[in-house]
DNA sequence: AAAAATAAAAATGTATACAAAAATATATTC
DNA sequence: GAATATATTTTTGTATACATTTTTATTTTT
């Protein structure tokens, strides 16, 4: 099941599944060599996570990427993640920061798939947010990051966003180590908003 | 399918389904007179909407209500819905306001179930937010309101929140009619936060 | 020839059946 | 008698089969 979900997500990211055309359960069941039941299960999950949309009675389909959605996702991320970091700050330990640094280093690897890279990026952020002990907000933020994942092909491809992002992560961790929460939060807000703006620019340019 | 979902939600709200005990697919399929497949589908949806939680390998169960979750849901609602109203304001017409007023009047009915009442309440808010033309933020807010729905038994029961809420709706619509967006947004923030605080207080007191 | 009505096809939703995995109970060993 | 190992039961996941609904194609009527 998890395997199937990942395969589907990967195929959505790299464009193997046509956008804007209804997906047929039977086609998918043949493509992935399972019956229609697990396909239905997977579709249900992916629909709920925004990887697929139900277009009325035309069936589910891979949604087109659009800059407005990206903008909104990043705006919500900015709002909610800054709030989470604020809650988290008093509880951040050296262990937390160490874990985050380790993850950031592993992002150096050049043999990572888009999906893996995106997941590590989220794991880094999540390491900080976890200690906020706000599971409900955390969950929503997790969903938002999941949805941002659909745009990963763009963000980690043409934009060469990798190094910039990693450097900002390092700065952020340094500010947290120096116990400067306000500046850290400001940097996080900027980190997210700039990423969003760049993605939006790119989407506007290509569409 | 929609029917089954509503039945399950209703039974979760009014406590027919025990909290904190794993749900068996077969039990449910007998209880609701369907096979296990639609039950599985429904569980998947309800899990994604927070009505059920997967407790490790102990199976899915109805989550306990807790004040912290309620607090967080309302905090997020406050943040995001105020943002939506800001976006919406320039596009709000008399027709929009009229629709909202009609819905608010229909909330007078005393023969409404908890689920129906909650849905009307959301429909009123949604009428305003729709014209913001921010479907992505709108969707997240819709999910948050769906989750708040799990607490409806409390909010519309012991707290007798009905009249207060309806009056605030009317005030809000008046402010929007008078084209006073800042005050309207402030009132909305208060409307949401007070509702949240009252619910949290109640939950703290009873638990 | 265009619109409406009917028939054919396809797709989805659901039930049943079976297989794999998990949990529980029973037996066995020390 | 406690701990481990084995067998039994339960629960879930998936395949197949069928019914219902939706879509598409064809025919009929004006």
How many contacts does A have with B, using Cβ atoms within 8 A? 57
Counting DSSP H helices and E strands in chain A, the numbers are 10, 2
Q: Do B83 and A75 touch (CB under 8 A)?
A: yes
Which residues of B touch chain A, with CB atoms under 8 Å apart? Answer: 37, 40-41, 44-45, 48-49, 68-69, 72-73, 75-76, 79-80, 83, 134-137, 139-140, 143-144
Residues B100 and B187 in one domain: yes
Q: A56 pLDDT exceeds 80?
A: no
Mean per-residue pLDDT, B121-134: 96
Confidence bin at B114 (pLDDT 50/70/90): confident
Q: B43 pLDDT exceeds 70?
A: yes
Residues B140 and B80 in one domain: yes
Residues B138 and B199 in one domain: yes
Mean per-residue pLDDT, B97-120: 87
In this prediction the pTM is 0.85
Q: B82 pLDDT exceeds 90?
A: yes
On whether the CB atoms of residues A119 and A142 are closer than 8 A, the answer is no
User: Alpha-carbon dihedral of residues B44, B47, B48, B50, nearest 10 degrees?
Assistant: 160
Smallest Cα distance from A35 to chain B, Å: 13
Asked which of A61, A84, A109 is the last residue of a domain, the reply is A61
> Considering CB atoms only, which of A73, A136, A144 is closest to B72?
A136
Q: What is the pLDDT of residue A21?
A: 87
Q: B107 pLDDT exceeds 60?
A: yes
DSSP state of B18: P
Of A166-170, B54-58, B84-88, B136-140, where does mean pLDDT reach its minimum?
B54-58
On whether the CB atoms of residues A89 and A176 are closer than 8 A, the answer is yes
Which domain CATH number covers A28?
A: 1.10.10.10
Confidence bin at A43 (pLDDT 50/70/90): very high
What are the start-end ranges of the E strands in chain A?
A: 53-54, 60-61
Residues A122 and A88 in one domain: yes
- Measured distance CA(B175)–CA(B185) in Å, rounded: 9
The angle that helices A114-130 and A67-88 make with each other, rounded to 10 degrees, is 30
Helices (H), chain B: 2-13, 25-31, 36-48, 67-88, 94-106, 114-130, 135-148, 152-155, 162-177, 181-206
Task: Please give the C-alpha separations between residue A140 and each of A57, B137, B189, in angstroms, as whole numbers.
Answer: 28, 12, 20
- Measured distance CA(A37)–CA(B140) in Å, rounded: 28
Asked which of B61, B76, B98 is the last residue of a domain, the reply is B61
Confidence bin at B157 (pLDDT 50/70/90): low
Residue corresponding to tokens 């949290």:
B200
Q: B158 pLDDT exceeds 60?
A: no
Residues B35 and B101 in one domain: no
Number of C-beta neighbours around residue A109 at 10 A: 10
- Measured distance CA(A23)–CA(A185) in Å, rounded: 42
Mean per-residue pLDDT, B178-197: 95
Q: Give percent of chain A with pLDDT exceeding 90.
A: 64
On whether the CB atoms of residues B196 and B70 are closer than 8 A, the answer is yes
Residue nearest to nucleotide D23 (CA to C1'): A58
Taking the CA of residue B26 and the C1' sugar atom of nucleotide D12, their distance in angstroms comes to 10
Residues A125 and A45 in one domain: no
Residues B99 and B50 in one domain: no
DSSP state of A91: G
Smallest Cα distance from B72 to chain A, Å: 6
Q: Name the more confident of A185 and A48.
A: A185
- Measured distance CA(A181)–CA(A176) in Å, rounded: 6
Residue nearest to nucleotide C23 (CA to C1'): B58
Taking the CA of residue B1 and the C1' sugar atom of nucleotide D29, their distance in angstroms comes to 40
Q: Quote the radius of gyration of chain A (alpha carbons, Å).
A: 18
Confidence bin at A158 (pLDDT 50/70/90): low
- Measured distance CA(B190)–CA(B185) in Å, rounded: 9
Q: Is A169 exposed, middle or buried (0-12, 13-18, 19+ CB in 10 A)?
A: buried
Q: A68 pLDDT exceeds 80?
A: yes
Taking the CA of residue A56 and the C1' sugar atom of nucleotide C5, their distance in angstroms comes to 26
Residues B92 and B27 in one domain: no
Q: What is the pLDDT of residue A82?
A: 95
Burial A7-40, CB ≥16 within 10 A → b, else e: ebbeebbeeebeeeeebeeeebbebbebeeebbb
Residues B108 and B167 in one domain: yes
Which domain CATH number covers B154?
A: 1.20.120.530
Which chain C nucleotides are covered by protein, judged by CB under 7 A?
Answer: 10-17, 22-23
What mean pLDDT, rounded, does chain A reach?
Answer: 90
Tell me the torsion sign for CA atoms B28, B34, B39, B42.
negative
Total domains present in chain B: 2
- Measured distance CA(B175)–CA(B90) in Å, rounded: 13
Q: Give the residue numbers spanning the domain of A38.
A: 2-61
Residue corresponding to tokens 């997906």:
A23
Number of C-beta neighbours around residue A207 at 10 A: 9
Asked which of B61, B93, B112 is the last residue of a domain, the reply is B61
Task: Please give the C-alpha separations between residue A114 and each of A13, A130, B36, B104, in angstroms, as whole numbers.
Answer: 8, 24, 36, 48
Mean per-residue pLDDT, B153-179: 83
- Measured distance CA(B132)–CA(A99) in Å, rounded: 40
Q: Is A181 exposed, middle or buried (0-12, 13-18, 19+ CB in 10 A)?
A: middle
Residues of chain A with C-beta less than 8 angstroms from the C-beta of B137: 72, 75-76
Residues B107 and B170 in one domain: yes
Residue nearest to nucleotide D22 (CA to C1'): A57
On whether the CB atoms of residues B37 and A38 are closer than 8 A, the answer is no
Task: Please give the C-alpha separations between residue B176 and each of B115, B171, B191, in angstroms, as whole numbers.
Answer: 28, 9, 15
Residues A103 and A168 in one domain: yes
Q: B165 pLDDT exceeds 90?
A: no
Q: B159 pLDDT exceeds 80?
A: no
Q: Is B185 exposed, middle or buried (0-12, 13-18, 19+ CB in 10 A)?
A: buried
pLDDT tens-digit map of B19-29: 888 999 999 99
Angle CA B155–B158–B164, to nearest 5: 60
Taking the CA of residue B37 and the C1' sugar atom of nucleotide C17, their distance in angstroms comes to 13
Of A50-64, A96-110, B31-45, B105-119, where does mean pLDDT reach its minimum?
B105-119
Confidence bin at B1 (pLDDT 50/70/90): low
Residues B77 and B53 in one domain: no
């Amino acid at each position: 099941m998890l395997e199937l979900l990942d395969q589907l997500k990967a195929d959505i990211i790299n464009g193997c599944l046509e956008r804007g055309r209804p997906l047929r359960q039977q086609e998918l069941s043949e493509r992935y060599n399972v019956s229609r039941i697990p396909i239905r299960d997977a579709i249900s999950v992916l629909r709920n996570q925004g990887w697929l949309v139900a277009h009325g009675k035309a069936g589910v389909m891979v949604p087109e990427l659009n800059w407005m959605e990206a903008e909104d996702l990043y705006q919500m991320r900015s709002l909610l993640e800054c709030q989470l970091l604020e809650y988290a700050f008093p509880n951040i330990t050296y262990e937390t920061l160490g874990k985050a640094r380790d993850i950031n280093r592993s992002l150096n690897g050049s043999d990572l798939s888009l999906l893996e890279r995106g997941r590590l990026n989220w794991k880094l952020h999540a390491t900080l947010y976890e200690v906020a002990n706000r599971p409900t907000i955390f969950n929503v933020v997790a969903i938002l990051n999941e949805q941002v994942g659909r745009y990963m092909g763009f963000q980690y491809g043409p934009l060469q966003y990798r190094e910039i992002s990693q450097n900002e992560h390092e700065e952020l961790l340094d500010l947290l180590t120096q116990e400067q929460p306000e500046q850290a939060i400001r940097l996080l807000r900027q980190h997210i908003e700039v990423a969003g703006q760049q993605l939006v620019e790119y989407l506007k340019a290509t569409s």
